[in-house]
Amino acid sequence: MTTSRSYAEFFVPESEVVLAARTRGADLGCVPIGSGGAAALTFLASAIGARSVVEIGTGVGVSGLHLIAGMAPDGILTSIDIEAEHHRAAKRAFTEAGIAPTRTRLINGRALDVLPRLTDGAYDLVFVDGNKTEYPQYVAEALRLLRPGGILIVDGALAGDKVADPTQRDAETVAVREAGRLVRDDETLSAVMIPLGDGLLAAVKRV
Q: Which of 79, 81, 50, 64 has the alpha carbon at shortest distance from 147?
A: 50
At 106-150, the pLDDT tens digits run: 999 999 999 999 999 999 999 999 999 999 999 999 999 999 999
pTM for the predicted model, two decimal places: 0.97
In order of their start, the domains of the chain are 3-205 (3.40.50.150)
Q: Which of 30, 176, 158 has the alpha carbon at shortest distance from 93?
A: 30
Q: How far apart are CA 135 and CA 61, in angstroms?
A: 20
Long-range contacts of 160-167 (CB under 8 A, 24+ apart): 160/198, 163/199
Local mean pLDDT, 10-residue blocks, the chain (207 residues):
88 96 95 96 98 98 98 98 96 98 97 98 98 98 98 94 93 97 97 94 96
Q: Check residue 76 and report its DSSP letter.
A: E
